[in-house]
Amino acid sequence: MAAQMTGQSTGPRERKNRRKTAYNPAGNPLLWCKWVGYLFWVMAMYFAQMAKPPDESFFHRLMNMGVTRNWNRDLMTLSWLFLILTALVAFGGLILNATRLRRKDDQLSAALIVLIILNMIAMGVLPAGNPIGVFLSHL
């Protein structure tokens, strides 16, 4: 009783149980899939934003300067590459999650499902840099 009040463990069994419940992010591959997937998605959105043509401002109109209306296809292709990597990581994490459903209270990861939905929306919104479309347009 005195050991419990002072916060000290009374034996090896309690230390073993405490070790099992300790949070270890390096040992959780599902957590790594989520982090890497969201990092790839953010990188894809960053490159898509950088590929956008600049907006015409007041000073462009005042000095009769032309603004290019072309998207940077190299950056859009890079953005699509990151979107494809995001899809691979998210589907791989979802498969990993589905194979680890052993207990009755285990569930599919909602974060991976949200990542897949965001990725599909981004793939639909960013068709300008689609590598397949770019390749077919050159034929």
Condensed to tens digits (0 to 9), the pLDDT of residues 62-118 reads 777 777 777 788 888 888 899 999 999 999 988 888 887 666 666 778 888 899 998
In a domain, 68, yes or no: yes
Cβ of 93: how many Cβ atoms within 10 Å?
23
In a domain, 76, yes or no: yes
Total domains in the chain come to: 1
In a domain, 46, yes or no: yes
In a domain, 93, yes or no: yes
In a domain, 7, yes or no: no
pTM, 2 dp: 0.66
Q: Which residue range(s) make up the domain with 111? A: 29-137
Q: What is the pLDDT of residue 74?
A: 84
Condensed to tens digits (0 to 9), the pLDDT of residues 2-49 reads 555 555 556 556 655 555 555 555 567 788 888 999 999 999 989 988
131 versus 71: which is more confidently predicted? 71
In a domain, 19, yes or no: no
In a domain, 63, yes or no: yes
Three-state DSSP class for residue 9: coil
Q: What is the pLDDT of residue 84?
A: 92
Cβ of 128: how many Cβ atoms within 10 Å?
18
Interior CA angle at 94 toward 21 and 89, to 5°? 105
Residue 62 CA, chain-centre distance (Å), reads: 42
Q: What is the pLDDT of residue 76?
A: 84
In a domain, 15, yes or no: no
